[in-house]
Structure formats: C-alpha cells, structure tokens
Structure 1
C-alpha cells in the first residue's frame, strides 16, 4: 500500500524540476541555482547569437548604403556646380530654369546629403564581453545565464539603433527621388515658359502629389502581425524586426530619445537606466 512520505528537508530546489520524460535526474540543475536546462540555455544562446550577428550585418548594410548615397550626392552636386560655372561663361540664358521646382529640388538634394552623413555617424552597436566579464566567467557559475540575458539587452539596444538608422536612410532615399522629380519637372516648366501663376500652380500641385506618395512609401514598408497565431493556447515568441528594427512609431520614439540624450548630454548608462524604468511602468 502506498504511503505518503515526508519531504526531505535536505533536498534543494533542483529536486522540483522534472523533465518531460518524468525522470527527475534528467532535469537536475547544473549547480547555477536557476533551474534552467543546460540544453535550453545553449539553444537560447545560439538563437541570441544568430539574431545579434544578423543585426550587425544589417547595420553594416545600412551604413554602406548611406555612404554610397553620400558619395553619389556629392558627385552630383560637384557636377552641377561645375556645369553652372561653365554655362555662366557662355551666352546661354538659364534664368528660365531657375524656378521653385529646381530650387526646391536642390534643397532636397542637400538635405538628403546631410541626412546620409548623419546616418553613417549614428551607428553605435553594443555587444560582446570585455575583460571584466571574462574575469567574472572564471568565478561566476551562472555566467551562461548572465550571457543569455546580456544578449537580450544587446539585441534590444541594437534594434533601436537599427530602427533609427532605417528611418534616416529611408528618408534619404525618398528625398533623393523627390529631388530628381522636382528638378526634371522644373526643367520642363522652364522650357515651356509658363507664366508665374502657372509655375507656382504646378509647383503646389507637384508638392501635394509627391508629399502624399512619399508619405505612403515611407509607411508601407512596415506591416502588422501578419500571419500571427490568434490561438491563446499556442505559445509563440513575437520575434525581432530584423530588417527595420521596430515599427515606425517605435522608430520615431527611439530617434527622439537619441536626439534628447545628445542635447542633454545624457550618458549611455543614464539613458539605459531610464529606458529600463520606462519599460517597467
């Protein structure tokens, strides 16, 4: 007959963990005191490292795109200035082509060049273990768990950096497209010799149309949780937005935090602590 036995007061927390096979010995903690399965911890670490590596590559792609755009814009501006100096020495009258369209297109080109430079300089990845962490690994039995948690913080931080850079590079590309459209239309308007009213009317119409299309293009690369399971019994992870880092709203918040931190001279540690407090509220 089965009898109820008293729990052994000398047993530690490890005896409470039993794996799926029902064998308590198979799920015994490895001495870290956290009860985590070493295989699960290893899998989590592998996934975290994969995500982190992709974030690094993604930011490198954005930086490369930004620097290529910067070089191309500077080349175009240089050719344009050289062309103006050459034309100025001839009898060609270019005043008809100096209109709101071409002027605004030139401004957009300059702004996109500046944003491309800012995009390249804002990348600031976080990750990796330093000397102190390596020294702690020699004496800390929970180093593996701590490393997994650290990867989580690094991934979250790098996602915010990716979101900010993606916003900047997207704006840069869209401004370049708009700039070319304004310049091309401006040349056509100058060749058509429209009246001042016609010039400003066409400029206003083009601005409204391009403004709407630019807004749509800026927002359309972010979608919601398409294909996510709505079954409450199905446990899944939300995942990380690898390519864009975050939604547009979250990207704007990250950009504001970045600008505010630089304006106020906030240190990285202070900003990280404040962001942690906001996440708990």
Structure 2
C-alpha cells in the first residue's frame, strides 16, 4: 500500500499502480494520452474530445458536472481523476465510494507542471512526465523571450453569453493572460463574474471571445463591437487558455501567433 497526495493536499492510498483510469476532466484526459496512458483509460466525459477518437473508443460516463455513478462503478476503476473547479464536492464524495480519487487544483503553469509530476509518480511513468515537463518549460522560456519586447495591452476575456461572463482573477485563464503581457481589466473581480456590457465602464484594447465554454464565433464579434467600439475583437481558442497539462506544448506557439494579431494595429 502506497500513499499519495493530490493538489488539495488530500491523501489516498493505492495497492498497486492503477491500470484502469476514469478521467472526468477533458484536459487531464488529453494529458493521460500524451503520457502514453490511453490504453489504461476506461471512462471519460462527453467533453473529452482530444484525441477525437476517444469518444468512440471509451465509455462515456456523463459530463463534468453530472455523471452516472453506476456506469463508473461497472468500469471497476483503480483511480478516478477529478478537478476542484470542474467537478462538484458532492460528486467527489460519491466517487470516493467507488475508487480512490485524485483532485487537481490548477491556477498557474507551475500547478500544471506539478500535476504532470504527480501523474508520473502515481502511474509509474516519471520519465515520460519529466520529458513533458522539460518540453513545456522550454516552450515557455522561448515564449517569454518573444513576448518580452511586446507592449502591455489591456484585455477582457469573455467566456459566456446570456448572461455575459468574463474571466476575472484567481483562475488559470487570468494567469495565461498575464503570461501574454495582457492586463485583464476585470482582474479586480473574483473567478468568473457576470458583466453588464450595455453599461460597461471599461474600454480595453482587446476583447477576447473564447471558443469555450460558450462557442463564440465570428458572428458574435459585431454584437460585442457595438458596446466596445474602440476595442479590437478577437475570437480566441479557449482550449489554449484553459486546458492545462500537455496542451501547454501547443499553447505557446499559438500565443506567438495571437500576439502578432493583437499588435497589428
């Protein structure tokens, strides 16, 4: 019996290296696959769309907020992987009756790297985990050199419509905006506040409309532009700003391209 801890500093015990994994967080499912653990995944959510073939090859046990406990139990998992923000506390309590639960809690890139390291220990794949960590660190360092000469711009990052909601502080999105030298005009608001865009008192240089969780598209730009006539409106890839783990390997190249768009006016 070996003891492990998660990112909420909870401890749990495993008899052996887990072979059957249920992942209830899309970005963590992607991370598992990139660490070479795809064959060990037995259950996922309907939002676990990367790699895209998983939805047809793995058992879907629900979403991130609601799951079918009977389906999870039938899969006989050795471990269930969750996230504090994505999965509710009452859900965790029920899941712990089925198998040990690991909960991630991600606010920064450093938190993400810690999660990768934890998975390396739990699944006995530390070499693969360390390789991924070093790759992310290298990409981050190269991006920091690139972005260092760019001027700071102000931004509002919209995540939802009806009601309009933005990313405030104390979340991974805000952290990545900071990494991009973007000053979040709603950083004085906690988490994901609702905003009244019809009576907005801020005029950011940039308005980001995220492709998720609300699927903002180009047709939404005109509606938002009416309330922010002096801001540049850009539809951004929400996965790059909110999917932690192995997605960070792709994110920094995306941020370089996005920076060129942001600074082209």
> TM-score if structure 1 supplies the norm length?
0.21
Larger strand proportion, structure 1 or 2?
Answer: 2
* Structure with the greater alpha carbon radius of gyration: 1
Structure number with higher relative contact order (C-alpha < 8 Å, ≥ 6 residues apart): 1
Q: TM-score, normalised by structure 2?
A: 0.22
